Chains A and B, each alone.
Chain A
Amino acid sequence: MSAAVNECTSEKLGDYTLVRVRGEVDLSWSQQVRRAILDALGATGKVGVELSQVSYIDSSGIAALVEGFQNARGKGQQFGLIGSSKSVMAVLQLARLDKVFPLFGSIDEARAA
């Protein structure tokens, strides 16, 4: 279990906005993740959330992802999850959301989609 600090950053790759999340996403800071995702969707262009360094995610973290997905779909924006870790996939499956989100293996794959 990595003891990575919780961190959420956004970067622009051309017209693509990448939100990188690290650490354990739980109630204590899932609102920050939610804000970052909604802000990224505020601009035009595709949005991806990179989750390979997420060692834990709870239902409030999943809720932030679902809200982002619904927001993007409402505006016809592309939204996807990138490199979801095993822990994230387990919880997505539990919530039966693994077939709902577009899932990409890498950033390049997501940008090309």
Chain B
Amino acid sequence: MNASPLATAGAEERRALGFLAELSESLAASLDLRETLDMAVTRIAGFMHAEAASLFLLDTASGVLECRICVGPVDITGLKVAVGQGVVGRCVAENATQIVRDASSDTRVNANVDAETGFATRSILCAPLATARGVIGALEVINRRDGGLFDADDAEILRLVAAPAALAISNAQLAYGLVEQQRIKRELELARKIQKTMLPKRRRGAFPLLGVNVPAHEISGDFYDFFDLADGRIAFVIGDVSGKGLDAAFLMVRVASLLRWTGKRAPAPAAWLAEVNAEMCKTLQDGRFVCAAVGIYDRTARKVTFASAGFPPALLFGAGKFEELLADGPPLGILAEAEYGERSIDLGDRALYLFSDGATDARDAQRHTLGSDGLRNIIVRHAALAPEPRLRALLGDLKRLHLVDDTTLLLLQEPCGKSAHQLLELTFPARASEMRAVRAALRGALDAQELAPELRDRLVLAVDEACTNVIRHAYCGECDQNIHLQLVREHDILVFELRDRAPAVDPTRLTARDLSECKPGGLGIPFINALMDEWKLEPAADGSGNILRMRKRIGMGEHE
């Protein structure tokens, strides 16, 4: 009995829809995509009455399709086809179902596969795996079992069954990508922690070396280190591995270890660099190199021996002047026979700043790099601070810009602490009539420091303005309460401290007016701003009164 073509089509369509629903459900419910796809491709082959079926997935980076799943007499899993080539490649390139009615005469068919496998391809149907993200692969069925040819109806059915497969694969790929990202993130976090443990711990007490490392991403290509030598001197190291990312980070770990173990034997810095360089040249490949500087510091003599292998110029700062220490040889890992110079520096009270190029590469909102001059300005701006708050302030300024690279700072300076000595201590009633005597005492104390008269007068003015502000604004007028003035010198910094017993003053209410306006009054704070390097007003720790501290660096390079 012959059913009408229409009725046959209707029955076939119902069968296809039933199959599709079942297939979609199994793909949607699946957690193990590979197993499910295996099963799905087998069932699709069965449903399509095909001798063989295969599923190709696209590697978007390379534009190559690879057979991932294959059922049938010949296993072509792993077979690769470029997009645009052959039936599968063209199907993907055109995002269109391909029908090959006679494989032997169709130019799209790659005859090599049959020649290699011994399989006789007669008829092919290939549907793209289309998703919202684009075509991600193709589903191919080969040879009808009944010996017939695939027709347009078959093509339509394959197109339909390809859709849920594409969706399932796409979802799985996205989910996998997400899981992979999470995994990488966790591992990078772990790597960051391991790297951090390699940096030396901050020493307690008055230790002359302070370092800080800010990775641009999770992991860093920068490092610093310092350690005690057997003879009591201190060795220090700073380095910057070329490139970023995981490989730079691994290299950093290796070089940091190498520098430490070589340095432990206390070689002279030039020999130290040469030894590490020779070792690195033996093993480093792919053009990587490491910029590093090493030094040994003798605290009793306050002398540093220092050598730099292509590291950015170190800055020696003291008495208002910078001295630049340029590299003594090429970066490590480039020339096996490289030789390095070294130099001996009388550090004295000066500060030696070592910074990786991430510091000078910091960018402002207009993408202008900070540069060496910008970095010097920041150093000068915070020069009056003690080393630790100074390093924090430097880093704060750099962070306010945009750090595009790993950034590392190492500061060598003998902490002052004990060398501070008091030049003047005065207690006087909060009365304007007292100020003349206070100024005279202050002039005397400053003259003993051999200050230029102009600078002396300016400092006297600043202290006078501060005292009259205490009288007028903290005590709200003259009274019998006292003002305590103390002048301390810490190396080349003068610290003026004023204490009162007045109710706490809110420092945020003190604002300087613009000097470009011409009007009487309100000049006190602008004067202090102009005359001192910095000042800070805070409530006394015991809650009684306020403390104003004003600092002025009086180095020999003083320029007004």
Instruction: Write the residues of chain A forming the contact surface with B, with a CB cutoff of 8 angstroms.
Output: 1, 24, 26-29, 56, 58-60, 62-64, 66-67, 69-70, 87, 90-91, 94-97, 100
Pick the residue among A24, A56, A59 that contacts B523 (CB under 8 A): A59
Instruction: Please state if B432 and A87 are interface contacts (CB–CB under 8 Å).
Output: no
Closest residue to A96 on the B side, CB-wise? B515
Instruction: Please state if A26 and B457 are interface contacts (CB–CB under 8 Å).
Output: no
* A96 CA to B431 CA, complexed, in Å: 28
Pick the residue among B468, B515, B523 that contacts A26 (CB under 8 A): B468
How many residues from B make CB contacts under 8 Å with A?
30
Instruction: Please state if A90 and B458 are interface contacts (CB–CB under 8 Å).
Output: yes
Known: A1-B443, A64-B520, A70-B520. A24 touches B436 (CB 8 A): yes
Q: B300: CB under 8 A from chain A?
A: no
Instruction: Please state if A66 and B443 are interface contacts (CB–CB under 8 Å).
Output: no
Instruction: Please state if B439 and A95 are interface contacts (CB–CB under 8 Å).
Output: no
* A100 CA to B527 CA, complexed, in Å: 17
Closest residue to B438 on the A side, CB-wise? A26
Q: B500: CB under 8 A from chain A?
A: no
The residues of A that contact B454 with a CB separation of less than 8 Å are 90
Q: How far is the CB of B15 from chain A (nearest CB, A)?
A: 95
Instruction: Please state if A96 and B520 are interface contacts (CB–CB under 8 Å).
Output: no
- Pairs across A and B, CB under 8 Å, 9 listed: A26-B468, A28-B431, A59-B465, A59-B527, A62-B523, A66-B519, A69-B518, A94-B531, A97-B518
Q: B4: CB under 8 A from chain A?
A: no
Pick the residue among B432, B439, B518, B519 that contacts A56 (CB under 8 A): B439
Closest residue to B434 on the A side, CB-wise? A28
Instruction: Please state if A28 and B527 are interface contacts (CB–CB under 8 Å).
Output: no
The residues of A that contact B516 with a CB separation of less than 8 Å are 96
Interface residues of B in 217-244 (CB under 8 A from A): none
* A27 CA to B470 CA, complexed, in Å: 12
Instruction: Please state if A27 and B520 are interface contacts (CB–CB under 8 Å).
Output: no
Instruction: Write the residues of chain B forming the contact surface with A, with a CB cutoff of 8 angstroms.
Output: 431-433, 435-436, 439-440, 443, 454, 457-458, 460-461, 464-465, 468, 471-472, 515-516, 518-521, 523-524, 526-527, 530-531
The residues of A that contact B461 with a CB separation of less than 8 Å are 56, 58, 91, 94
Query: Shortest 8 CB-CB distances between A and B: which pairs?
Result: A59-B523, A28-B432, A63-B520, A27-B432, A66-B520, A67-B520, A27-B468, A28-B433
Instruction: Please state if A59 and B432 are interface contacts (CB–CB under 8 Å).
Output: no
The residues of B that contact A100 with a CB separation of less than 8 Å are 518
* A63 CA to B468 CA, complexed, in Å: 14
Instruction: Please state if A59 and B524 are interface contacts (CB–CB under 8 Å).
Output: yes
Q: How far is the CB of B510 from chain A (nearest CB, A)?
A: 14
Pick the residue among B460, B471, B519, B526 that contacts A27 (CB under 8 A): B471
The residues of A that contact B530 with a CB separation of less than 8 Å are 94
* A91 CA to B527 CA, complexed, in Å: 9
The residues of A that contact B435 with a CB separation of less than 8 Å are 26-28
Instruction: Please state if A95 and B527 are interface contacts (CB–CB under 8 Å).
Output: yes
Instruction: Please state if B465 and A58 are interface contacts (CB–CB under 8 Å).
Output: yes
